[in-house]
Structure 1
Amino acid sequence: MSAARNPTVGVLGAGLAGLAAATHLSEAGYDVTVLEARDRVGGRVWSEALNTGHDFASIVERGAEFVLDGYDAMRELLDLTGLSLIETGMSYYVRALVETPEITTDDIAAAGQRAAELARTLPGAPSAEEVLRRLDLDERVVEALRARIEISTTVGTDKVTAAALNHIASFRQLPSWRVGGGNQGLPKALATRLGPAVRTGEAVQRVTQLDDGVAVYTAHSAAVFDAVIVALPLEIVRDRRTVQLPLPEWKQTVLDRVLQGHAAKLHLPLRSSAPTSATMSVKGRFWNWTAVDASGDVAPVLNGFMGSEAALQAAAVHEGPARWADAARAARPDLSFDTDLPGLVTDWSADPLARGAYSSHSPQVLAGDGDVLEQPVGNVYFAGEYTDADFTGLMEGAIRSGQRAAQRVVHQLTSTPTASRQAIG
C-alpha cells in the first residue's frame, strides 16, 4: 500500500474566491494548484495605472472598486498580507442627480425606503419594477430610484428581485475604502504567498469525476486531484462550450435562476484635481466620482460606472469610450478634463473570461438556492460571488465563498488517507 500523502486540491480561477480558497487550504497543509486562464491574477479585480499627464500615474480600478462596511473577511486577508485601506473621501451610497438637481438624495432615500416596505407586503417574489409601478410618487423620483437599482444591480428592474431594494435603499453617508495602491494588490499578494502553486495562462477545458479523484484538463496538461474548487464567473460555469463541468440537472437549474449583469467602467484624466464627489445620470444609467487615492490627495481622474445591458448598448460602449465620455463630461462641467489624453473604458460583458459584471438575483431565485449553488457535485466544489447570499456580487462575497468551499474540502478530506497519484495525459 502506498504511503499517505497530503491531499491535493485543484482550484480553477485566481480571482478573490479562488485565491481565498487556496490560501485557506495551503495554510491547512494541503497541496494546492491554482489554474488561471488569464496572464494575471485577480479576475474581475483589476488595477491599472492611468496616464493623467501629471508627473505621476493614477491607479484606477477597472473592476471591483469599493470596500464597504462589513467586509470583515477581506480585511482579515489584508491584515494577513500587510496591505492597508485608504478612505476615498466620498460615499458609495450618496450620489447627486445631474439632470434634476432639485431632487435630493433624501428624496430618493425616502422613495427607496417606501419601496422596500411595499415589497415586503406583496405576495410571492415580485420584481423591483412591479414595486416601482405601485409607488404613488413624483415620476422623476421613481425614475431616479429605477436608475439607481439598474446601475447597482447591472440588470433591468423588470428582471431583478425586489429584495434588491433592501440594499439599494441605503443612502446613508457611510465611508468607502480602496486598497492602497489598488485593489488588485490583494490577489497579487495572495498569489505571491502561494508561489508556484499559481499557474497563469492555464485555461481549463474539462473537469471529469473519477473513481479516485477529479481529473482536470487544460490545453497544456492534465492532472488528477482529490478535490477541485470551481471559482469561475457564473457565465463561464454554466456555459458547457467553454468549460465542461459535471453539472447535474439540479445544479444547472439553480444556476440558471441567477442573473449575471452587464457593466462597464470609465476613467477620464483631469487637468487638475477636484474635490471629492459622486453624481448620477438617470438618463445615461451611470454614475461618476472623484476620490482620494493612496497619495492622500484627490486623484486627477473622473471615474465612472455604467450598469445594465440596455445602457451599455445605448452608449455604444463596445465601440469605445467616446459616447460615454462625452456624456460624462457634459454631466460634470465643473471639472477640467484633459481631452488630449484618451479615456479608458472597460467593458466586462465583452471580456471572454467574464462575459458580464457580477451577479444579481431574479424573482425566481428561491430561499435555499444559495446552499444549492455551493453544494458540491461529488468532489467538485463551487465558489464565487454568485453563491454568497449576503454579499452577492461583491468582493466580500467572493472571499467568503472561497473560504467556505475550502472548509468543506477540509471537512471531507481531512480524515481520508490518500495514496500517491501521478499526472495524467
Structure 2
Amino acid sequence: MTLPNADRARHSLSDSRLPDPAGARRGEVTRAATPTVAVLGAGLAGLAAATRLVREGYDVTVFEARERVGGRVWSDSIDGPDGSLAIERGAEFVLYGYEEMRGLLDEYGLQLVETGMSYYVREVGDVGGVTTDNIVAAGRRAIQLVGDDPDVQTSAEEVLQQVGDDELVDALRARIEISAAAEAREVNASALRHIASIEPRPSWRVAGGNQSLPNAMADAIKDRVRLGQKVLQLEQDPTGVAVTTDTDTNRFDAVIVALPLATLRGTRSPVLDMPDWKRQALDHLVQGHAAKLHMPLSLSPGTSAVMSVGDRFWTWTARSEDGSVGAVLNCFMGSAPALAAYGQDALSVGWAAAVRALRSDLDFAPGSDAVLTTWSDDPLARGAYSAMGADASSADMESIRRPVGRVFFAGEYADPDFTGLMEGAIRSGHHAASDVAVALSAHTNRSL
C-alpha cells in the first residue's frame, strides 16, 4: 500500500514495540492476513532472511539499491591471454565451519571447488628469515595469551606486544591486519583465535562464482526482489513501518535491515532514529577497509599464497572448476593505512608494481589490464567487512542483533561467531527471520 507524504508522521524507531522474540511463544500462527516484511539489502544476509520468511508464508519485499544481487559478493571476469577468467571482486573463500552456507549450496544445487591452496597459510615473500613455521609458532603463542575468556576486552596489538621478536611479531601483525582489514590496535584480541590459527586447512569457492548463490536465492523468490530501489527513510509507528525509497512509500508489519555497517553509522543512513544502546554497540565494531587486485598471467602457474609484510597484502593462485590453475594472480590488501600509503589515484599502478616485485616467480601477461576493486569507495558499501573492536563484548553483539520495535537487523557484522564472513551474513539473516516470525506470531495471536 502506498501512502501519501501527508499521511506519514515522524516517529522514533523505539516508539513501537513488538514482543521480545526471545520471550515469545513459538508455534502455529493464526492470522487473518499475511504479515508483510520488508528486507533492506539483497546481499547474503538479506536474501537468507527473505527466502526463509517466504518459505514460512510471509509476504516479503526485498529492496536493493544495486542493479544486481549479492552486495559485496560479486563474481566477475577478467580478460586473459587465452580468454575470460573468473574472479571474485568481493568475498571469496568458503572455509571450515560454513555449515549454513553449505546447506544453502546443497539446497540450490551448487557445488564447491577446492582451491588447492590454503587461505590460512601464507608464505612471507619480503622478509628474510621469517618462515611460515615461525609465524605458526608465534600465532599459537598469541592464542595462548588470549585464553578462553569469551569477553576479552583488549586489542590484538596488546597481545602481540607480549609475543616476542619484533620482526616475527610484525609478520604476524601483518597477517592479522590484512585478514581483519583493520589495524591490530583496533581489533579485539579474540580475533587472534581465528586469524592467528595458521593451520593448513583447505579452502573452497563456489563453482560458477560465489555470486551464483545469491543469484539462485533471488531467483527462488523472483519478483519479490526490487532492484534499483534505494531506501531513503524508515518511519515507524505503533502499527507498522513505512519504507520510503526513491520511487514510493509502502508500509510493512516489520522490516529487516541488512545493509552494510558503514551505511548504518553514516549521516546518510536511512535508520537515523536508533536508540543510544544500539548506536553504542555498533560503534564497538571496526569498519574494515580493503581492496582487491586481479592481474592476468601469461601461463597457468602452480597454486600459491605469498604475503607482503611491508605493504600489508597477500597474493594467491588457485584452481578453477576444471582442476587447472587459472592464469590470474589474485591480490588482497587490508587496513586503511595500507591503502592510504599509495593514495587512491596511484593505488592500481603502485600496487601492481609491488605485486610484480613480490611475485617475480610469475609471468605476467604483457599489455593486459589489471582489475582493481576498492569497497571503501563504493557508495553503497563504504567499506569492506567488519570486525569486533578492542572494547567490544558479547553484550554488544546481543544489542546489535536486538530489534528496535518492528525493525530487525542482519549482516556479516551481526553474527558473534563468524563476524565479517559470508557464513556470518547467512546466519544473521536466518536469525533475524526467526525473530521476525516469532515476534509477528506473538503480536498477531495477542491481538486476536
TM-score by length of 2: 0.90
Tell me if the contact between 1:317 and 1:323 (Cα under 8 Å) persists in the aligned partners.
no
Structure 1 position 121, deviation (Å):
9.5
**In the alignment, structure 1 residue 42 sits paired with structure 2 residue 60:** no
The superposition leaves residues 93-132 of structure 1 with CA deviations (integer Å, 9 ceiling, x where unpaired) of 0100101253211110110111121233999622111121
Tell me if the contact between 1:17 and 1:383 (Cα under 8 Å) persists in the aligned partners.
yes
Structure 1 position 16, deviation (Å):
0.2
Select which of 386, 393, 409 maps to 1:382. 409
User: Which one-letter code corresponds to 1:352 in the other structure?
Assistant: P
> Where in structure 2 are the equivalents of 1:402-421 lying within 5 Å?
402-414=429-441, 416-417=443-444
**In the alignment, structure 1 residue 306 sits paired with structure 2 residue 333:** yes
Residue of structure 2 equivalent to 1:297: 324
**In the alignment, structure 1 residue 117 sits paired with structure 2 residue 144:** yes
Tell me if the contact between 1:318 and 1:347 (Cα under 8 Å) persists in the aligned partners.
no
SS in 2 for 1:373: helix
Select which of 211, 214, 220 maps to 2:247. 220
Tell me if the contact between 2:176 and 2:196 (Cα under 8 Å) persists in the aligned partners.
no
SS in 1 for 2:147: helix
> Per the alignment, do residues 279 and 20 of structure 1 end up closer, same or farther by CA in structure 2, a change over 3 Å counting?
same
Report sequence identity in percent.
Answer: 53
Residue of structure 2 equivalent to 1:126: 154
Matched residues in 2 for 1:27 and 1:297: separation? 39
Select which of 102, 125, 129 maps to 1:102. 129
> Where in structure 2 are the equivalents of 1:30-69 lying within 5 Å?
30-54=58-82, 56-69=83-96
> Where in structure 2 are the equivalents of 1:266-305 lying within 5 Å?
266-305=293-332
SS in 2 for 1:144: helix
Q: CA RMSD in A?
A: 1.6
Aligned residues: 414
Structure 1 position 211, deviation (Å):
2.2
Tell me if the contact between 2:66 and 2:229 (Cα under 8 Å) persists in the aligned partners.
yes
> Where in structure 2 are the equivalents of 1:75-94 lying within 5 Å?
75-94=102-121
Residue of structure 2 equivalent to 1:423: none
Matched residues in 2 for 1:162 and 1:365: separation? 10
Matched residues in 1 for 2:190 and 2:444: separation? 45
Matched residues in 2 for 1:66 and 1:23: separation? 23
Tell me if the contact between 2:39 and 2:46 (Cα under 8 Å) persists in the aligned partners.
yes
User: Which one-letter code corresponds to 2:67 in the other structure?
Assistant: D
User: Which one-letter code corresponds to 2:427 in the other structure?
Assistant: R
Structure 1 position 195, deviation (Å):
0.3
Matched residues in 2 for 1:124 and 1:294: separation? 41
User: Which one-letter code corresponds to 1:306 in the other structure?
Assistant: M
Structure 1 position 200, deviation (Å):
0.8
Select which of 216, 219, 223 maps to 1:192. 219
Tell me if the contact between 1:35 and 1:198 (Cα under 8 Å) persists in the aligned partners.
yes
> Where in structure 2 are the equivalents of 1:184-263 lying within 5 Å?
184-263=211-290
SS in 2 for 1:311: helix
Select which of 147, 164, 176 maps to 1:149. 176
Matched residues in 2 for 1:6 and 1:245: separation? 28
Tell me if the contact between 2:313 and 2:332 (Cα under 8 Å) persists in the aligned partners.
yes
Tell me if the contact between 1:119 and 1:126 (Cα under 8 Å) persists in the aligned partners.
no
User: Which one-letter code corresponds to 2:48 in the other structure?
Assistant: A
Matched residues in 1 for 2:346 and 2:255: separation? 38
> Per the alignment, do residues 331 and 247 of structure 1 end up closer, same or farther by CA in structure 2, a change over 3 Å counting?
same
SS in 1 for 2:80: coil
**In the alignment, structure 1 residue 12 sits paired with structure 2 residue 37:** no
Structure 2, unpaired ranges of 5+: 1-30
Structure 1 position 400, deviation (Å):
0.2
